[in-house]
Amino acid sequence: MPEKQQSPTGRPRDPDVSERLIAAALEEYARTGWQSFTMQGVARRAGVGKSALYRRWTTKEELLIAGVESVALPLSETSDSGNLREDLTDAATRILHHFLDPTGWATLRISVDSTASPTMLDPFQERVTQAIRSGITAIFTHAADRGELTSDVPVRPLVESLVGSILVHVLSMPFDVRDDARQNAAAHVEPLVDVIMRAASPQPCP
């Protein structure tokens, strides 16, 4: 969700203003979420007039998406070590950190909030939610290419299971465990990757 088109004539927009606005938006949102996220506050924190803000993004959602996609997009880049479990563990660890980070968590918030109405979903989903999914999908595709995966296993449910399990894991995590999860990410991620690996493996002999 880039900023709105500007007129070709006249003084050009100051790119520094855009940057400061996006940074301010993420900081404000990370504080306490929707509750205290105000356009006014973003402009104030950025040291910018309200007009400069509204000129670029008309709604809170547009502004947040602009800020959040820069954070989420890197998740689509995954490693390719030649070993499925290793790649999955690496990706899962990064997703776990993503959901444990305030700014990363914002991704989910916006996604959840925008799922309610048809208007907002599409632009955001294509950019953020899909970014996460596509990275893991690639891992499976590579593994299948290597023959590490029986071809009869559908990939999409596996991806949804892995991403979803990490999400629910964080979602149902008591607050004082979050620090532990940040430091011992591997221990938290391993059982979840295990589930996927079992499901992806060839089934027992009949």
Least Cβ distance, residue 13 to a second copy (angstroms) = 18
Regarding 102 and contact with a second copy (CB under 8 A), the answer is yes
Regarding 201 and contact with DNA (CB under 7 A), the answer is no
| Cα 107 to Cα 91: distance, rounded to the nearest angstrom | 17
Select 55 or 169, whichever has its Cβ closest to a second copy.
169
C-alpha 152: how far from chain center: 29
Structure tokens at 185: 């990410």
Tally the C-alpha atoms within 13 A of residue 126's C-alpha that lie toward its C-beta: 4
Regarding 55 and contact with DNA (CB under 7 A), the answer is yes
Taking a C-beta distance cutoff of 8 angstroms, is the pair 98, 68 a contact? no
- Burial of 22 per CB tally in 10 Å (0-12, 13-18, 19+): buried
Regarding 146 and contact with DNA (CB under 7 A), the answer is no
Regarding 198 and contact with a second copy (CB under 8 A), the answer is yes
Interface pick for DNA out of 49, 74, 102, 191 (rule CB under 7 A): 49
Taking a C-beta distance cutoff of 8 angstroms, is the pair 1, 73 a contact? no
Regarding 11 and contact with DNA (CB under 7 A), the answer is yes
Select 52 or 173, whichever has its Cβ closest to DNA.
52
- Residues numbered 121-140 forming contacts with a second copy, rule: CB under 8 A: 121-122, 125, 129-130, 133
Regarding 58 and contact with a second copy (CB under 8 A), the answer is no
Looking up tokens 């809170």 gives 60
- Residue 7's binding partner among DNA, a second copy, none (Cβ under 5 to 8 angstroms by kind) is DNA
Taking a C-beta distance cutoff of 8 angstroms, is the pair 165, 192 a contact? yes
Within the chain, where are the H helices? Answer: 15-32, 39-46, 50-56, 60-72, 84-100, 102-115, 118-124, 130-145, 155-171, 178-183, 185-200
- Residue 79's binding partner among a second copy, DNA, none (Cβ under 5 to 8 angstroms by kind) is none
Least Cβ distance, residue 99 to a second copy (angstroms) = 9
Least Cβ distance, residue 13 to DNA (angstroms) = 4
Interface pick for DNA out of 45, 60, 97, 109 (rule CB under 7 A): 60
Residues that bind DNA (CB under 7 A): 6-7, 9-14, 17, 38-41, 47-52, 54-56, 58-60
